[in-house]
Amino acid sequence: MSISFSSLPARLTLLALFSATTFYCFYKSRRLRNLKFSLSNRFSNPNPKKPKIVFLSQTGTSKTLAQRLHELLSSNDVAFDLVDSKSYEPEDLAKETLVLVVASTWEDGKPPSGSNFLATWLSETATDFRVGSLLLSRCRFAVFGVGSRAYGETFNAVARDFAAQMKALGAAEIVPMWEGDVDGGNLDEDFEIWSGKVVGVLKGGGVLENGGVLENGVVDGDGGEFGNDSSFEDSDEESEPESEIVDLEDIAGKAPSRKNVAVVESNGKLNGKKEMVTPVIRANLTKQGYKIIGSHSGVKICRWTKSQLRGRGGCYKHSFYGIESHRCMEATPSLACANKCVFCWRHHTNPVAKSWQWEMDDPVEIVNSAIDLHTNMIKQMKGVPGVTLERLNEGLSPRHCALSLVGEPIMYPEINTLVDELHKRRISTFLVTNAQFPDKIKSLRPITQLYVSVDAATKDSLKAIDRPLFGDFWERFIDSLTALKEKHQRTVYRLTLVKGWNTEDIDAYFKLFSIGEPDFIEIKGVTYCGSSATSKLTMENVPWHADVKAFSETLSLKSQGEYEVACEHAHSCCVLLAKTKKFKIDGQWYTWIDYEKFHDLVASGSTFDSTDYMAATPSWAVYGAEESGFDPAQLRFKKERHHKSTRVQSS
């Protein structure tokens, strides 16, 4: 018997059968997927009957804030589930009656990496005409955004989108979306205000929860009652950071109780003036060994300063330029920066910004305080094995200042006055800029040695490795190199090699040489400072000294004799290229600096250039020497694998 489907009824029957089969397969597939999800999350899945606090977090800030909110509500007998968006099933939103969201915005306005699934689902669902605007009609919600205003238009983009898409799907917003700024605002203050508004709504009633109503402070459902004398202050006990080095986003939610800090006005300013270093940032930088000066500057003793005080050798600047490491002060007049580099030594515990927007301390006071704090740290070295009275007394009179501690020193509006003050005291200046402020470079008065960080050779790689705030970062980078060309004093390109990130573009690096025509090119392997939420670098990304040497030699060959490999410091995994015609005279390198001559030239007010204060480089510092850049006048200190230490005279 044959069956014909040519008639309309038969076609409709076939279509119905096909639709039913398709729906059944889809249903079984969904059930199977949901079963797998349920089994994999049986111990972590939230109770679908409880209201939720959902956090979208990359570095820990949103998580910490969400925990604070959870503790606040729990202390008042209001039951909420605390949920990481990574383990949340988006389609469960249709079942929710109350959701509080704390959402971070990551790079380029994107959600944290683990929150992509939830954010994508919400975005696609909100724009799907087949879904309609009633999917979340039972849900009430509130959103708090965590981001950095320095990123301009993408500031809190994820939180904004989340709120808009929830409303598009029919959810009702109980408190307007609130935007927290981790870099330029008072995140804890803002979060406390938002939390208070949320609690106020819950106390005032009118919000559905588990199908019930909050009225007169009584929660109908799993919750309890808010007492009339309940406190809504933050808990005095905050969770401890997981490591000694904490990212700015991580520490943002860990402010001390307001009972223990100065009162901050609602406009985000202390006593009417905005401070760069908030109490939270100050506490964490201090914990890392920084001495904070005023409201935006800092100083820290370098491990190489300690090393040369003990007669155990100086840093690469000692080998390349004759710096006395035990008389070198590492400082900055601006802890803020315009980049969030993946290899940042400070793991972004400092603020970021694109312009100066804080109260400003006096440059003379900054210099005075820096010297006082530095010498106090030197005094603490008294009695340490190897520290002689002679070296200690020398260390108490700093002769060099490395303006490269952290942040972007050139951002400080009074940088010229500060540099002049250091020179008046015959303290030399090595200043490092991140190549985002070309106009500042142009207006900068004579520096003993001016550095520009050249962290990558192409636009894409520079964006990936420096993570700049400026949208026109590449144009600013090129303009900074161009401005360097106009300087008369010593100039340096600083290249930090990170395997897998920026070591393959040798031709592109070479093309940059002709833009700034630097006197020197420092090529250094990245220093591994531990992985963090903002940097996934591992020891695999750290090049060997042999790798750095090979890279440097290749660049030298590319230049066809314009630059030669002049010096090395194996301990720092660092190599120096120098302009051959300028600093190699009759076969002798002159990369060292006559510091007294430099100060005399500055004091004279006359025009001078980098060749006027150069000095001969000792043989032990020259590339290829047996000492590999280690000063033979020092005692090399080696640690054996079994942790027993020995000292041997360097050859």
The confidence score (pLDDT) of residue 185 equals: 74
Query: Measured between alpha carbons, how far is 509 from 512 in angstroms, rounded to an integer?
Result: 5
- Can you read off the two tokens belonging to residue 350? 């400092």
Q: Taking a C-beta distance cutoff of 8 angstroms, is the pair 220, 214 a contact?
A: yes
The closest alpha carbon to 162, from 117, 211, 123, 216, belongs to 123
Torsion of CA 48, 54, 58, 64, to 10 degrees: -120
Among the CATH numbers 3.30.450.20, 3.40.1160.10, 3.20.20.140, 3.20.20.70, which is that of 284-621? 3.20.20.70
The confidence score (pLDDT) of residue 569 equals: 95
CA atoms within 13 A on the CB side of 170: 15
The ranges of the chain with pLDDT < 50 are 1-3, 5, 23-24, 26-45, 206-272, 346-348, 531-534, 641-651
- Can you read off the two tokens belonging to residue 308? 């040369």
Map tokens 């440097």 to a residue: 552
Amino acid at 520: F
Amino acid at 501: W
* Exposure class string for 524-545: b at 16+ Cβ within 10 A, else e: bbbeeeeebbbbebeeebbbeb
Domain 52-202 coded CATH 3.40.1180.10:
no
The confidence score (pLDDT) of residue 529 equals: 56
Residue pLDDT, tens place only, 445-481: 999 999 999 988 899 888 887 888 888 999 999 999 9
Give pTM, 2 decimals. 0.63
The full set of domain ranges for the chain reads 52-202, 284-621
The angle subtended at Cα 532 by Cα 460 and Cα 64, nearest 5°, is: 115
Q: Taking a C-beta distance cutoff of 8 angstroms, is the pair 204, 216 a contact?
A: no
Query: Measured between alpha carbons, how far is 571 from 636 in angstroms, rounded to an integer?
Result: 11
The confidence score (pLDDT) of residue 133 equals: 80
Strand 291-293 and strand 218-219: the pairing is: unpaired
